[in-house]
């Protein structure tokens, strides 16, 4: 237990121990947060407090809540181009600003490319910055070096909405004991340890969340919007993304999870191994089916299966990324997959999904500055991996058919 860390309940301690067991780390290196973005804010806040203003290199092909902690901490996001191998920041040709404080490695969809990750770590450390790994899509999996050691200085894992564990709330932050700046490591740990436990009111909202979502999804959109607003104002609904969080600000009081949230995460982790096997089988089925499609023959084709984007086709991805020629085809593919009874989504269209309400707060680059990022965003279709191989083949054929029209 770190200096200043509050005593944790048995479920919280067991959750840290389970994360450590799964990752070959130590329980004391894990710190819990109600939402992963709160843990990121604590880490970036500690970084900012150490030296004031500075920049963080990241990507706009992400959710706005992954950039909000940077902005809220008083740091400046600088956006880099995507790697065609990993959909993370491309280390090839990467130029880091002179005031860089951190580089973000996002394991998009759960894709982990060790080569890109190692190059990013070297670039960050060579510039005196830290590597912050966003593992929101692959809880418990981290990029590692040749010796099997985690590459990140700070690794962020989420149990939130539309993540691998589907627990709606909770996150965990791993802080590397090998971080070169020991005083910075201590500051990050202290900031994480100082998070208060979520209030009972938020605990009630967390318990109500799934039933509230079921009701809201069944209502006509105008009625759902009114009801959601009323519940949120009454403190009875904890939204996945608020309007403030589409404007560059982390909303709500940063906190750590209560015992109920931790117990839910533990329960989900108990079935994770079988889910990872299923997702790996679905990924292989998508790859096999799309690779056989004549539409995936090359970079100029209207359909790009991620043969050039996913280096290891057996990875248990949260979603399988396919990129169509334009947003019209991509939207049609999403609609037809949904009509067939499966869940597809257009992550990340628009950039900083679900879109910035205050684009100035994020300092996004001018159009055309990041061509691969823009192309991927325009044509993105994310296919479900929690399906059987047979269903994955069926979904792949639907997408290939739409792409060829």
pLDDT digit string, tens, across residues 229-267: 999 989 899 889 999 999 999 999 999 999 999 999 999
Task: For residue 388, count other CB atoms closer than 10 A to its CB.
Answer: 12
**What is the residue whose two structure tokens read 């999904």?**
353
Q: Give the pLDDT of residue 313.
A: 61
- Contact (CB, 8 A) for 129 and 103: yes
Query: What is the pLDDT averaged over residues 35-51?
Result: 95
Of 3 and 278, which is predicted with more confidence?
278
* Structure-token pair, residue 378: 């325009």
pLDDT greater than 50 at residue 129: yes
Q: pLDDT digit string (tens) for 194-228?
A: 999 999 999 999 999 989 889 999 999 899 999 99
* Structure-token pair, residue 157: 């894992």
Which of 229, 270, 278, 312 has its CA nearest to residue 392?
278
d(CA 236, CA 180): 43
* Structure-token pair, residue 228: 């959601």
Instruction: Write the CB contacts of 358 (distance below 8 Å, at least 6 apart in sequence).
Output: 246, 247, 248
The full set of domains in the chain, from first to last, is 10-193 (3.40.640.10), 272-403 (3.90.1150.10)
* Structure-token pair, residue 21: 């067991």
Which string of b and e fits 111-135 if b means at least 16 CB within 10 Å? bbbeebbbbbbebbbebebbbbbbb
d(CA 109, CA 369): 23
| Lowest-pLDDT range of 48-57, 64-73, 142-151, 391-400 | 48-57
| Residue 6 pLDDT level (bands cut at 50, 70, 90) | low
Which string of b and e fits 55-66 if b means at least 16 CB within 10 Å? bbbbbbbbbbbb
Which string of b and e fits 149-158 if b means at least 16 CB within 10 Å? ebbbbbbbbb
What proportion of the chain, given as a percentage, has pLDDT over 90?
79
pTM: 0.93
Q: Give the pLDDT of residue 55.
A: 98
pLDDT greater than 60 at residue 368: yes
Q: What's the angle, vertex CA 19, arms to CA 159 and CA 163, rounded to 5?
A: 20
Which of 163, 125, 119, 177 has its CA nearest to residue 143?
119
Q: pLDDT digit string (tens) for 87-126?
A: 999 999 899 999 999 999 999 999 999 999 999 999 999 9
């Amino acid at each position: 237990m770190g200096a200043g860390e509050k005593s944790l309940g048995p479920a919280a301690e067991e959750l840290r121990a389970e994360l450590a067991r799964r990752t070959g780390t130590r329980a004391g290196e894990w710190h819990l947060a109600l939402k992963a973005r709160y843990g990121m804010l604590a880490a970036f806040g500690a970084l900012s407090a150490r030296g004031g203003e500075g920049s963080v290199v990241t990507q706009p092909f992400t959710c706005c809540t992954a950039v909000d902690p940077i902005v809220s901490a008083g740091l400046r996001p600088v956006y880099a181009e995507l790697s065609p191998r990993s959909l993370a920041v491309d280390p090839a040709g990467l130029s880091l600003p002179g005031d860089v404080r951190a580089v973000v490695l996002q394991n998009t969809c759960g894709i982990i490319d060790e080569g890109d990750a190692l190059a990013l770590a070297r670039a960050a450390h060579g510039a005196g910055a830290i590597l912050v790994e966003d593992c929101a899509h692959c809880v418990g999996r981290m990029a590692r070096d040749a010796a099997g050691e985690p590459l990140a200085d700070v690794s962020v894992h989420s149990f939130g909405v539309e993540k691998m564990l589907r627990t709606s709330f909770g996150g965990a932050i791993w802080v590397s004991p090998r971080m070169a700046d020991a005083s910075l490591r201590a500051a990050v740990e202290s900031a994480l340890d100082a998070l208060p436990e979520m209030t009972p009111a938020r605990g009630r909202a967390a318990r109500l969340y799934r039933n509230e979502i079921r009701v809201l999804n069944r209502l006509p959109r105008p009625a759902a919007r009114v009801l959601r607003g009323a519940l949120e104002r009454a403190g009875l609904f904890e939204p996945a993304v608020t309007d403030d969080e589409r404007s560059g600000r982390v909303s709500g009081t940063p906190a750590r999870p209560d015992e109920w949230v931790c117990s839910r995460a533990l329960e989900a982790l108990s079935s994770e191994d079988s889910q990872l096997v299923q997702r790996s089988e679905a990924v292989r089925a998508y790859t096999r089916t799309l690779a056989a499609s004549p539409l995936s023959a090359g970079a100029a084709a209207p359909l790009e299966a991620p043969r050039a984007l996913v280096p290891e086709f057996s990875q248990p991805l949260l979603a399988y990324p396919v990129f169509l020629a334009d947003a019209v085809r991509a939207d049609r593919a999403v609609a037809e997959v949904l009509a067939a009874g499966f869940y597809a989504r257009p992550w990340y269209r628009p950039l900083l999904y679900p879109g910035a309400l205050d684009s100035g707060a994020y300092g996004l680059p001018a159009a055309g500055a990041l061509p691969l990022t823009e192309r991927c965003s325009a044509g993105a279709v994310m296919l479900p991996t929690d399906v059987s191989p047979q269903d994955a083949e069926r979904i792949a054929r639907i997408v290939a058919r739409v792409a060829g029209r």
